[in-house]
Amino acid sequence: MLSRGAMVAATATSNFCIRPYNRPSLHDITLFLSSFNRLKTSQVASAKPGALRVSSSRPISAMANAAGNGSGKAAAPLLSDADELINSVETFIFDCDGVIWKGDSLIAGVPETLDMLRSKGKRLVFVTNNSTKSRKQYGKKFETLGLTVGEEEIFASSFAAAAYLESIDFPRDKKDDGDKRIELKPGFLLEQDKDVGAVVVGFDRYVNYYKIQYGTLCIRENPGCLFIATNRDAVTHLTDAQEWAGGGSMVGALRGSTQKEPIVVGKPSTFMMDYVSKKFQISKSQICMVGDRLDTDILFGQNGGCKTLLVLSGVTTLPMLQNPGNSIQPDFYTNKVSDLLIKKVANV
């Protein structure tokens, strides 16, 4: 039996087990966010008042307006002098999917660009909303692609969820719940653990009705139960052949069934930006956020007070950027990351 105050998490393992979770340092931690994580505590309401700030998940349009990106803002200019941008900041934060790679394919020119920036003394940080891998696993992916990136330079939304839970002194035990299914029969009643204090939703290739119903019951019926999302990305790059439904589709299922908005710890929430800035003692005005998505990467940089560079190698196309209905405009845009290697960029 689990005592009250324990923390539980559901993973995609085939076995159901309850075991203690002795939390390591955040450098190594992963909460297995490839599935719905059910975090259990009787102390949810006693979160530290000084904990790191996390933005709630407001509609993108509202967040854009809050960041000062009204529909009347001038269209972003093409990056014409890469050296000027490079010399104006100390740190570059890169999104990964659609910027560094697509699926398992490295985007051309990335190694040379990263080497150039390091040679100029720039700090490089890699931030991704993909919650399916730990920092160590992402480190191996970078290595497989021929890139030398330290684990301390990698920040995934799974790490952000772990950091957030640590910041509110969440307990340290977890329960693996396996790949359960529901067999609907007359009179069947699914009972949830009444001590579950938070439901964390990340990208899940094996999402099923049991996970949705269980999470719904916890959020709706357990007093004070938190609803935390690693991200609300509409699409993701599982392969380089097409876009695939993203973590937002899983979050949307519980948002629809609970009629509640989640706390989002990934982009465009400023939680990871605040964490990175504090950890490395970086002034946000000295950061350039480089990404391929307007509603996550660029808004993330703008919400954090950073310079922003949109690359057209991923989700966002030039027509999308220049659409009159688009209210999120980066400081600059360019074709791909390797355009930073040259001073003058040809017209797109």
Q: Annotated active-site positions, please?
A: 90
In the structure, how many helices (H) and strands (E) does the chain have? 10, 16
Cα distance between residue 22 and residue 171, in whole Å: 10
Q: Which two structure tokens, joined as six digits, stand for 262?
A: 């989640």
R_g of the chain, CA atoms, integer Å:
20
Residue 74 three-state SS: coil
What is the DSSP secondary structure assignment for residue 296, as one 8-state letter? I
Question: What amino acid is encoded at 263 in this protein?
Answer: I
Do 290 and 93 touch, CB atoms closer than 8 A?
yes
DSSP assigned state of 84: H
Tokens of 342: 């040259």
Give the list of residues 6+ apart from residue 311 with CB closer than 8 angstroms, or none.
98, 99, 290, 291, 292, 333, 334, 335, 336, 337, 339
Compute φ and ψ for 107, nearest 5 degrees. Answer: -80, 135
- Written as one letter, the residue type at 99 is V
CA atoms within 13 A on the CB side of 137: 13
Q: Any bridge partners for residue 106, and if so which?
A: 101
CA distance 112 to 149: 13
Give the whole-angstrom CA distance, residue 59 versus residue 67.
13
DSSP 18-51: EE------TTT----TTS-EEEE-S-GGG--TTS
